[in-house]
Amino acid sequence: MKFASKTYISVLFFGFSLILVDAISESFSEELLIKPLPTGHVYSFFQFTTKWDVDPGETKLQHYNLFPRSIGEIIQKHSLRELHLSLTQSLWRTQKWGYPVRFAGPGAEVFATFQPHLNNDEVDGAWIDLVNSLSGLFCSSFNFVTLTNTIQPIWTFSPEGLNLGGTNASHQRYANLPREIVCTENLTPWKKLLPCESHSGLGELLNAKNMYDSSYHSLALDLRPICRDKKCQESSLELKLSLSLVSEPTVLHGNTYHGINADWSFKSIYGAHLFSSCPRATLSKVYIDITSNITSTTHWNLRPDPAAVVVNQRGGSATHLSVYDLNEVSPWPINVRASYTKKLSYGIIPPPLIHATRFQLLAGHGQAKGKLVTRIHNNYYSNDIDIVFLELVPWYCRVFLHTLAFSNSKNKPVAIDIPQKLYFRPGLDRQRPNHLELRLTLPANSVTEIEWEFQKGFLKWTEYPPDAHRGFDLGPAVISALLPVARNWTGIPRHVSTFDESWNVSQSGYFVRVHTETLVVAMATPDFSMPYNVICLACTVVALAFGPLYNLTTKRLVVKESSGGGGGGLISKLKSVLGKKNSNPVEEEVAAAPKEKVLATKKKDD
Ligand SMILES: *[C@@H]1O[C@H](CO)[C@@H](O)[C@H](O)[C@H]1NC(C)=O
Ligand SMILES: *[C@@H]1O[C@H](CO)[C@@H](O)[C@H](O)[C@H]1NC(C)=O
Ligand SMILES: *[C@@H]1O[C@H](CO)[C@@H](O)[C@H](O)[C@H]1NC(C)=O
Ligand SMILES: *[C@@H]1O[C@H](CO)[C@@H](O)[C@H](O)[C@H]1NC(C)=O
């Protein structure tokens, strides 16, 4: 009887779960790509992809299984179509490291596309609500994003997922916070969004101590609609959580006896062995880029042996990767180790096709004006490359469009015909930033400089941040391009989701987005110590004056009357008993004075 009811319940439960699985299908995959960089650094890219087969326009999302509920609620509440955000510490050095898998500027960056049924004002409202939700979700300062530092990007940022139509630039918002510091309190809530958190699978390798002991670190979240299958008649939601890390094994090992030791292992870069794969993941793989072993003369070995080696051929370059399938690893735990057969030597590193740098110069006399200069390299020897250049300058740096100038190392003209290729929306004080976007053609094998001048505005004293003398941060300039070849390109083509699907997928162009350095502008700063000095001085004067004045106004000066002859206090009795040995002459003198004489002074202060 008991047995029967148990079976019945389990059959019921099974049936129920089958219905659930049928109704909404979700899949999760975890991947890790490790690429040794030409500078001796090691680049690790963790990617956790959740695909959920629901209609992205769905207004009532329910039955969360693998997809994080907090993200689902944000999508619904703020009518989101796409969301891309990143929290990054330090700058990706494109010139030395090539291109990352996911592009991110220093500090915090957020880009969102909203549903087409919202009008411009509703989008503004939803955007402000969204950044406040995100700030709570990630324990970050996204709430410092306001309309004064938000733009509507035209060409640089565009929806990355399936084009469901209906939206244009007025549904997009972008903002960056270059001063944001990324730390453990951002990593912890981010890890909570993973189906296996950090209990099993690749999440186990995300130890805060080692993550923040690195040269570059970036957390990202990307949400977009994608095709449900090859036929693409229905769409699904894709959530991609990724973490990039650049570690420096040569530094982690310290100074060894045998010169530079570039060996690395899971244990040395993540501080842990891998104990399991995530049981909820359908795909769980580790890829190690071994191209440098094949192309250079410095060889290295991997232990344990990989399950397979794939060759990824695309855009005129081949990448060789060792693959570990975590669902088929037999002896747990594993600790993948790379050991070099000889000392590493560093030479000149051929730079990637496009990279850029930005700096600031003083303009004119004095410190009131400055000049922003961006230098963009096109290292492609044969072809011109079209780029889009975006600059977001805060309102308090008033830029002058008429000073915008271009120069080229080959003295070739840089073509710009206004207004099809130039978009400029001037800033308004305390309302919106300056927004410039340019479409230019960089001549082959040359360096192009874009410069313009700005004037520093004056702020109200309450508008200065703490530590105002450090200066104000200007976010990076962003350069986007579609490269004809895939040299130094590590990304995933847009129409696929995982690395596993991306091998040998060719494209007509390889999209890159280069973020330049952030700048610090020294603004005219009031002497914040002055009010303090004034307060100190005033308080001291008041305190010094108070004592004497208080005494003078409240105390009475009374001449004490000595009890002569008859009455006599205890003291005089004692004295008489002791034989009047030490009688006080002063007391006698006062006693001789007329009785009842009171000296009362009441002085009025003025
Ligand atoms: C770019 O690719 C070339 C050829 O594959 C390689 O020699 C070079 O080291 C790479 N540069 C960077 C910065 O990764
Ligand atoms: C964008 O779309 C809205 C309606 O969705 C429309 O009112 C607006 O004119 C469009 N803007 C542009 C620049 O096409
Ligand atoms: C690197 O190349 C050497 C020599 O060709 C080979 O023995 C070694 O297995 C390779 N290492 C990897 C990680 O493939
Ligand atoms: C990609 O193409 C190359 C050559 O065309 C082939 O050798 C390789 O096996 C292919 N890789 C995969 C993963 O299919």
Give the pLDDT confidence score for residue 20 in this predicted structure. 47
Rounded alpha-carbon distances, angstroms, from residue 317 to 152, 504, 569 = 36, 10, 115
Tell me the CA–centroid distance for residue 485 and ligand 1, in Å. Answer: 12
| 358-395 residue pLDDT tens | 998 888 788 888 999 999 999 998 888 999 999 999 99
Q: Is 98 in the pocket of ligand 1 (CB under 6 A)?
A: yes
285 and 418 both lie in a single domain: no
- Over range 50-67, report the average pLDDT: 82
- Does residue 85 lie within any of the structural domains? yes
- Does residue 496 lie within any of the structural domains? no
Give the pLDDT confidence score for residue 563 in this predicted structure. 62
pLDDT exceeds cutoff 70 at 39: yes
Q: To the nearest 5 percent, what fractions of the chain are helix, strand and coil?
A: 25, 30, 45
| 140-197 residue pLDDT tens | 999 999 999 999 999 998 888 888 888 888 999 999 999 888 888 899 999 999 998 8
> Across the chain, how many H-helices and E-strands are there?
13, 25
Residue 265, strand partner residues: 337
Tell me the CA–centroid distance for residue 342 and ligand 1, in Å. Answer: 21
- Asked if the bond preceding 419 is cis, omega within 30° of 0, the reply is yes
| 96-111 residue pLDDT tens | 999 999 999 999 999 9
Tell me the CA–centroid distance for residue 61 and ligand 1, in Å. Answer: 45
pLDDT exceeds cutoff 80 at 541: yes
**Domain final residue, candidates 334, 351, 368:** 351
Give the pLDDT confidence score for residue 574 in this predicted structure. 72
- Asked if the bond preceding 333 is cis, omega within 30° of 0, the reply is yes
pLDDT exceeds cutoff 90 at 415: no
Ligand with minimal distance to 43 CA = 1
pLDDT exceeds cutoff 90 at 40: no
* Residue of 165, 143, 157, 148 lying closest to 112 (CA atoms): 157
155 and 15 both lie in a single domain: yes
Q: Is 488 in the pocket of ligand 1 (CB under 6 A)?
A: yes
- Asked if the bond preceding 306 is cis, omega within 30° of 0, the reply is no
Pocket of ligand 2 (CB under 6 A): 116, 168-170
pLDDT exceeds cutoff 60 at 455: yes
- Does residue 334 lie within any of the structural domains? yes
57 and 203 both lie in a single domain: yes
pLDDT exceeds cutoff 50 at 603: no
Distance, CA of 328 to CA of 324 (rounded, Å): 8
Tell me the CA–centroid distance for residue 292 and ligand 4, in Å. Answer: 18
Please count the structural domains in the chain: 2
**Domain final residue, candidates 432, 452, 482:** 482
411 and 335 both lie in a single domain: no
The boundaries of the domain holding residue 157 are: 2-351
Give the pLDDT confidence score for residue 604 in this predicted structure. 42
Tell me the CA–centroid distance for residue 319 and ligand 1, in Å. Answer: 11
9 and 67 both lie in a single domain: yes
Q: Which ligand 3 atom minimizes the distance to the CA of 293?
A: 1
305 and 366 both lie in a single domain: no
Torsion sign, CA atoms 100, 102, 105, 106: negative
Q: What strand order describes the sheet that includes 397-408?
A: 354-362, 369-378, 446-456, 397-408
Write out the two tokens for 520: 């610090």
Distance, CA of 553 to CA of 413 (rounded, Å): 85
pLDDT exceeds cutoff 90 at 121: yes
* Of the candidate ranges 14-28, 118-132, 257-271, 376-390, the one whose mean pLDDT is the lowest: 14-28
Distance, CA of 249 to CA of 36 (rounded, Å): 10
Ligand with minimal distance to 488 CA = 1
- Does residue 576 lie within any of the structural domains? no
Give the pLDDT confidence score for residue 504 in this predicted structure. 87
600 vs 551: which has the higher pLDDT = 551
- Does residue 82 lie within any of the structural domains? yes
Which residue type is seen at 60? K
262 and 170 both lie in a single domain: yes
* Residue of 209, 193, 48, 54 lying closest to 134 (CA atoms): 193
Which residue type is seen at 196? C
Write out the two tokens for 167: 């939206």
* Residue of 560, 587, 559 lying closest to 572 (CA atoms): 587
Q: Whose CA is nearest to atom 8 of ligand 3?
A: 301
Distance, CA of 573 to CA of 557 (rounded, Å): 27
Distance, CA of 536 to CA of 135 (rounded, Å): 39
Tell me the CA–centroid distance for residue 301 and ligand 3, in Å. Answer: 6
Q: Which ligand 2 atom minimizes the distance to the CA of 166?
A: 5
- Does residue 505 lie within any of the structural domains? no
* Residue of 380, 385, 376, 448 lying closest to 414 (CA atoms): 448
Tell me the CA–centroid distance for residue 174 and ligand 2, in Å. Answer: 18
Task: Tally Cβ neighbours within 10 Å of residue 586.
Answer: 8
Buried b (16+ CB within 10 A) or exposed e, 180-191: bebbeebbeebb
The residue count of the chain comes to 606
Write out the two tokens for 271: 């501080």
- Does residue 594 lie within any of the structural domains? no
Write out the two tokens for 72: 């689902």
Give the pLDDT confidence score for residue 516 in this predicted structure. 94
279 and 360 both lie in a single domain: no
227 and 280 both lie in a single domain: yes
Distance, CA of 152 to CA of 35 (rounded, Å): 35
Q: Which ligand 4 atom minimizes the distance to the CA of 504?
A: 1
* Of the candidate ranges 88-92, 356-360, 390-394, 590-594, the one whose mean pLDDT is the lowest: 590-594
Question: Sorting pLDDT into bands at 50, 70 and 90, what band is 29?
Answer: very high
DSSP state of 566: S
375 and 338 both lie in a single domain: no
**Domain final residue, candidates 433, 461, 482:** 482
Give the pLDDT confidence score for residue 601 in this predicted structure. 40
Give the pLDDT confidence score for residue 414 in this predicted structure. 72
Q: Is 350 in the pocket of ligand 1 (CB under 6 A)?
A: yes
- Does residue 49 lie within any of the structural domains? yes
128 and 36 both lie in a single domain: yes
Phi and psi torsions of 259, nearest 5°: 80, -155
340 and 248 both lie in a single domain: yes
Distance, CA of 426 to CA of 452 (rounded, Å): 14
| 1-13 residue pLDDT tens | 444 444 454 444 4
Distance, CA of 46 to CA of 44 (rounded, Å): 6
CATH code of 439's domain: 2.60.40.740
Tell me the CA–centroid distance for residue 154 and ligand 2, in Å. Answer: 12
Give the pLDDT confidence score for residue 228 in this predicted structure. 87
Q: H helices of 154-232, where?
A: 184-191, 208-211
Q: Is 96 in the pocket of ligand 1 (CB under 6 A)?
A: yes
In percent, how much of the chain has pLDDT > 90?
Answer: 39
